[in-house]
Amino acid sequence: MSQLSLINQSACFGGTVGFYRHQSVSCNGVMKFAVYLPPRSQSEPLPVLYFLSGLTCTEENFITKAGAQQFAAKYGVILVAPDTSPRGAGIPGEDDDWDFGTGAGFYVDATEEPWRSHYRMYSYVTQELPALMAANFPVQVDRQGIFGHSMGGHGALVCALRNPDQYRSVSAFAPIVAPSRVPWGQKAFTNYLGVDQETWRSYDASELIQSTQLKHPILIDQGTADTFLEKQLMPQVFKQACASAGQPLTLRMQEGYDHSYYFISTFVEDHIRHHAEILWR
């Protein structure tokens, strides 16, 4: 297992925020992630909650903007925020578009050239990063939750649905719930996974929910003033899929809220509480 290097660390709400880097096997290059350790982690192992960020984001966005640390301290959970893609892989065109390539790994394991050798964010999030956390931090490995925003909301739902025994809880802010049907997802999936849309189903939450149900309710917050709501996010598709499958879902349409971290920071305590109540059972 690769060695972690601490980039910097700051005190925060009685605990610490640390930024780390390491040589990733999954992504065949250097990856970074942020960890918030609440005060209780100094005396006992705690549940761990992973946050997956959206397009263009890094490991810094959520930890810096969401105001989540005070609630992680309050409810006794460790927060982990990985980067959204490999960086500097040297793949031609990786920096050409804001919604594909660098900053847009889409939490899939690419099968197509030239992406397959580096863009393996699904394996990174579900296997390599949890192993690093277990080896280096005081986490309760049997108490993991996952949540995310936009592209990261898609990632959180997919990771939870494909690994129901690994993640006890899941939630999302403005997730891309039907990526096979929307421009962002179609662009990413075509390039990362190929043109055969059957292969897309395993990374589409609205498809996965039809065959895999979770033991605990899913929480989703979506702003009604989100400019991406109708074209890219389509929460009603997932709502209908959950209803058909018998999956408990709380979908809250938040009046007047957009796609930004102002929206996330407003409701982040609700999400951390949602996870903590399940993870501490």
Residues noted as catalytic: 150, 226, 259
- Cβ contact 258:228 at 8 Å: no
DSSP assigned state of 134: H
β-pair partners for 31: 22
Inter-CA distances, 135 with 24, 45, 165, Å: 15, 12, 20
CA-wise closest residue to 21 among 136, 151, 147, 144: 136
Q: What is d(CA 32, CA 166) in angstroms, rounded to the nearest whole number? A: 22
Sheet hosting strand 78-82, strand order edge to edge: 5-12, 15-24, 29-37, 78-82, 46-52, 139-149, 167-173, 218-223, 249-254
Q: CA end-to-end span of the chain, whole Å?
A: 31
Least Cα distance to 142 among 271, 278, 42, 20 occurs for 278
Instruction: Give the tokens for residue 265.
Output: 């920071």
